[in-house]
Structure 1
């Protein structure tokens, strides 16, 4: 299981529970996730930063501490692995006695015609971008339903509404993610104090384009 690294001392059991919100952010090591972490840090939130890369997470954690976050915890995790997501959420609940907001922005990308993209690459993209979102939603909404409060924010994409060639795995994932989010929003109406939101940005300045696998001989 992944272990965690904390950039502030954990609160003791005798400490009065802080009024600062506990915010979990996936994909926090770069791009939209990193920008989201910065935004909540400026508000003095207690942050749980999740991504696969420990080194980049620590860099973002240091930035958030400098920006005013009350506390920052680093949690290396692959969202496509359900047991890792469950472990992180359970550990966070033990530490903070609750979760207020989860922003799910973890994503990967690949370029190439559908027939030229290896099946395992296609499957891996869908595994992170769609099934990973389902893993995060399942774990966090279970907590929100139990505590009768919480807000899940899922970062989708403009490509969940339109299609473009040479990005079949990403487009498939984001169209599926849009459908999943709409269902979650409908079902969350039964849970007092729980809400689900989606954000569908267009292109932003993020390393995902350069880091993507490519089978067209160039980056997107």
Structure 2
């Protein structure tokens, strides 16, 4: 059991893929979990998996984290149950494949709202709580496509670049308040966004390690290679 026992973590996009596996990994470490997503039945499945295996509390909340109203309800419900928020994992993301010449504005807006605006809304709502505690850990998920790009991934890559810039700005703003903000690139995974890559269950434990880390904020992206000597 690590130093996250009885802490409270919010994980967005937790109904499947990396979000689901991250919820299970944190629960294994003794963390109380708030899982959110648009599909409540999937959240219930994750809740039942956690309750069957681990003696932690789980709060499933149907929420669209690109919606300001939903984010406020999510955070207030978390506070009502747990009285605090120690960890925020901004994992929720969407992808639509279009070459820029063919991309409708609706698709561009959809990806930015769900991949970048959601991170802004979740951090803005959680930071005052973490400030009051003088502690907190925020982990934002990015992608190698920010630097490499790829045909058909323009909007997705640009939205993740926005997440990186936002993360570095919040690092500067909040480090003095005891809040650590980290960026993590999990690499290619086999999820609903991709059919090839690593199993998310193999990646999720690294998010637990980041949350446990006492390292100072650094303007860099953490990758799996940073954990090559890990025992996990």
- Report the TM-score range of the alignment, normalised by the length of the smaller protein: 0.7 to 0.9
Question: Where does residue 228 of structure 2 map in the other structure?
Answer: none
- Equivalence for 2:181: 196
Please report how far the alpha carbon of residue 76 of structure 1 lies from its aligned counterpart in structure 2 after TM superposition.
0.7
Q: How far did 1:69 drift?
A: 4.3
1:161 pairs with one of 130, 139, 147 = 147
* Secondary structure in structure 2 of the residue aligned to 1:50: strand
Asked if the contact 2:91/2:141 (under 8 Å) is kept, the reply is yes
- Relative to the length of structure 2, the TM-score reads 0.79
The number of equivalent residue pairs is 191
**What CA distance in whole angstroms lies between the structure 2 residues aligned with 1:20 and 1:184?**
26
Q: Tell me, yes or no, if the aligned pair for 1:140 and 1:152 is still in contact at 8 Å.
A: no
Give the structure-1-normalised TM-score.
Answer: 0.83
Q: Secondary structure at the match of 1:36?
A: helix
1:217 corresponds in structure 2 to none
State how far apart, in whole Å, the 2-side matches of 1:204 and 1:34 are.
13
Uncovered stretches (5+) of structure 1, i.e. residues with no partner: 1-18, 211-220
- Aligned equivalents of 1:115 and 1:171: distance in 2? 16
User: Larger C-alpha radius of gyration, 1 or 2?
Assistant: 1
Instruction: Give the number of the structure whose residues are more often helix, by fraction.
Output: 2
Of 114, 117, 131, which residue of structure 2 is paired with 1:145?
131
User: Which of 54, 66, 86 is the equivalent residue of 1:68?
Assistant: 54
**Contact 1:40–1:69 at 8 Å: present in 2 too?**
no
Taking the aligned partners of 1:194 and 1:206, their CA distance within structure 2 comes to 30
1:77 aligns with 2:75: no
**1:74, 1:124 → 2: CA distance?**
24
Pairing partner for 1:34 from 2, 7, 20: 20
In 2, the alpha carbon distance for the partners of 1:197 and 1:55 equals 30
Deviations 1:84-126 (A, max 9, x none): 1011101211211111111110000010111212211111111
Alpha carbons 1:160, 1:200 under 8 Å: kept: no
